[in-house]
Amino acid sequence: MEKHFTDSKVKGVSTGTTILAAIFDGGVVIGSDSRASIGGEYVSSKTINKVIQVHDQIFCCMAGSLADAQAVTKTAKFHLSFHSVQMEGPPLVVAAASVLRELCYKNKEELQAGFITAGWDRKKGPQVYVVSLGGMLISQPVTIGGSGSTYIYGYVDAKYKPNMTREECQQFATNALALAMGRDNVSGGVVHLVVITEKGAEHVVVPGDKLPRFNDE
Amino acid sequence: MALSNVLETPAAGFNFDNAARNAALEGLFDGGQTPKPLKTGTTIAGLVFKDGVVLGADTRATSSEVVADKMCAKIHYISPNIYCCGAGTAADTKKTTEILSSNLTIFSMNSGRNPRVVMAVNILQDMLYRYHGQIGASLILGGVDCTGSHLYTVEPYGDVDKVPYLALGSGDLAALGILEDGFKHDLELEEAKELVRASIHAGIMSDLGSGNNIDICVITKQGVDYIRPYQESEYKDERKMKYKYRPGTTAVLTEKVVPLKLEVVQETVQRMETA
């Protein structure tokens, strides 16, 4: 392992990633790439799952150190499950985001993980929350994260419209992730999308060869 | 919770005390260079085939440039249906897998159920994450349980990935090349064994830290076939001299017997309740 490790800011396996979430009319799309890397040189997994289900209709995307992110989402899953037993009902999306925020803020010295939480609940419908590295929590209609996000801020700002249809939003998310994966070396693999609506959650995978191409020939 | 873990797990939440202590210790050594633990160069590999899981490993343990053990066992027993290959710091892989194995055995006895591979993975992930990367154990865990055949990798920082095939260790790049080229889903047993053997062989040829023999472990629903060694190195050496000497080789010149006088100082009787 020593020979793979260079001056990367993240120790061990990093998700070095592109993640995004966007609200459409009636639901929310959350998605990510599938590459895990070590030291910015070695791809340790081409098929890592970064979209984790923390409750029936609440999903999280992770960025940063893979070990820290997996540990935090495991803890969050447990807390949410316990919370929903106590409340005798499904948790709110903001509750899931708050659990992650508490963990990230209280342990900010040791942890290196950021999250995008998206889901649907009865009180406020579809929502997207961002929990950054230091533990800031904000709500946004569309958000991107990870190292590959820098390459698509322009695209997202220009192309996102509120109240898109489900198909438009899915296409928007696929395009954005494909563009980021095309420019960022530590993002790649396949595109994992989860579409969450009142009815439930649906997982869509777009393999590498089916991704939209932009001036790639 | 009481069923699964014999060791006391610390209070809920993250506990980074050990990481803080280590950081403080680093400052005490000259130039911050803490003593380096022994690492074995290694090639380990595993893959999921039609009826189960095949794990493979080389058998060389090195201490700098000297081969310390030519027949080191790197495939560790976890439970009757789960085995684990370990790369990284020798002591860490051995101890971590031993702790996991004893925890799972006690769990089996208490609950009356066979352990599942995913449970072993969760225990490992929790333990390695708690030590924040200080335990240098890169593990490939494979097994067959009531939910099917599974192969997982657990890295020192505590991240986990479920994979159909993988190679780890200092010889991993060479081994992974062979695996990437030859792997298909639902291979037959002989093909799977041959693919793992070829990948470990590639690791042995291309990496100085890996060598000697190849061990293979096949786990299926029917049971475990631990073949040690599966393939022996062509460079094996036969010992030419005998090191056993027959009695009388060394001449006895004198003999003196001194009887020891023992005195009974105290006698106690303790009744054992066997009713």
**pLDDT tens digits, residue range A59-75?**
999 999 999 999 999 99
User: Could B158 and A71 be called an inter-chain contact, meaning their C-beta atoms sit closer than 8 Å?
Assistant: yes
Kindly state the percentage of chain B with pLDDT values over 70: 91
Length of chain B: 275
DSSP string, B114-161: PPPHHHHHHHHHHHHHHTTT-S-EEEEEEEEETTEEEEEEE-TTS-EE
Q: Chain B closest CA to A131's CA: distance in Å? A: 18
Q: Please name the member of A12, A103, A110 whose beta carbon is closest to the beta carbon of B155.
A: A12
Residue B135 lies in a domain: yes
Determine the residue of chain A that is closest to B171 in CA distance: A1
pLDDT digits (tens, 9 = 90+) for B164-218: 999 999 999 999 999 999 999 999 999 999 999 999 999 999 988 888 899 999 9
Beta bridge partners of B149: B144
Q: Which fold has domain A19-210?
A: Glutamine Phosphoribosylpyrophosphate, subunit 1, domain 1 (3.60.20)
pLDDT of B73: 92
Q: Are B193 and B216 in contact (CB under 8 A)?
A: yes
Residue B94 lies in a domain: yes
Catalytic residues of B: 42
Selection from B199, B115, B125 nearest residue B162 by Cα = B125
Q: Chain B closest CA to A201's CA: distance in Å? A: 22
A100 touches chain B (CB under 8 A): no
Length of chain A: 217
Instruction: Tell me which residue range forms the domain holding B88.
Output: 43-231
Q: Rounded CA gap, A93 and A139, in Å?
A: 10
Q: Tell me what the pLDDT averaged over chain B comes to.
A: 87
pLDDT of A137: 95
φ/ψ bin of B129: left (φ > 0), alpha (ψ from -120 to 50), beta (otherwise): alpha
What is the tally of structural domains in chain B?
1
Determine the residue of chain B that is closest to A99 in CA distance: B13
Q: Are B135 and B128 in contact (CB under 8 A)?
A: yes
> Which residues of chain B have a CB within 8 Å of the CB of A112?
none
* pLDDT tier for residue A3 given thresholds of 50, 70 and 90: very low
DSSP string, chain B: -TTT-SSPP-SSS---HHHHHHHHHHTTSGGG-PPPPPEE---EEEEE-SSEEEEEEE--EEETTEEEETT---EEEEETTEEEEEEEEHHHHHHHHHHHHHHHHHHHHHH-SPPPHHHHHHHHHHHHHHTTT-S-EEEEEEEEETTEEEEEEE-TTS-EEE-SEEEESTTHHHHHHHHHHH--TT--HHHHHHHHHHHHHHHHHH-TT--S-EEEEEEESS-EEEEEEEE--TT-----S-----TTSSPP------PPP--------------
| Crossing angle (nearest 10°) for helices A66-87 and B117-130 | 110
Residue B108 lies in a domain: yes
Judged against a pLDDT cut of 60, whether residue B239 lies above it is answered with yes
Counted across chains A and B, CB pairs separated by less than 8 A come out at 52
> Which residues of chain A have a CB within 8 Å of the CB of B163?
45, 47
A196 touches chain B (CB under 8 A): no
Q: Rounded CA gap, B235 and A29, in Å?
A: 59
User: Could A45 and B163 be called an inter-chain contact, meaning their C-beta atoms sit closer than 8 Å?
Assistant: yes
Mean pLDDT value of segment B92-120: 93
Residue B274 lies in a domain: no
Q: Rounded CA gap, A144 and A17, in Å?
A: 10
Q: Where are the domains of chain A?
A: 19-210
Residues 116-175 of A with CB under 8 A from B: none
Q: Rounded CA gap, B84 and B78, in Å?
A: 7
In one letter, which amino acid is A38? I
Mutate one of B122, B157, B166, B170 to test the A interface: name it (highest A CB count within 10 A): B157
User: Which is more confident, B149 or B29?
Assistant: B149
For tokens 């060598």, the residue is B211
Going by their DSSP bridges, the two strands B52-58 and A200-206 should be labelled as unpaired
Q: Please name the member of A11, A75, A103 whose beta carbon is closest to the beta carbon of B157.
A: A11
User: Which is more confident, A60 or B20?
Assistant: A60
Residue B144 lies in a domain: yes
pTM value? 0.78
Residue B36 lies in a domain: no
User: What b/e sequence results for B211-234 when a residue is b if at least 16 CB atoms lie within 10 Å of its CB, and e otherwise?
Assistant: bbbbbbbbbbeeebeeeeebeebe
User: Could A13 and B88 be called an inter-chain contact, meaning their C-beta atoms sit closer than 8 Å?
Assistant: no
For the record, the structure tokens of A3 come out as: 């020979």
For the record, the structure tokens of A106 come out as: 């209280």
User: Could B14 and A45 be called an inter-chain contact, meaning their C-beta atoms sit closer than 8 Å?
Assistant: no
Judged against a pLDDT cut of 80, whether residue B11 lies above it is answered with no
Contacts of residue B78, Cβ cutoff 8 Å, sequence gap at least 6:
B84, B97, B100, B101, B104, B120, B141, B143
User: Could B157 and A3 be called an inter-chain contact, meaning their C-beta atoms sit closer than 8 Å?
Assistant: no
Q: How many C-beta atoms lie closer than 10 Å to residue B254's C-beta?
A: 4
A13 touches chain B (CB under 8 A): yes
Mean pLDDT value of segment B243-256: 88
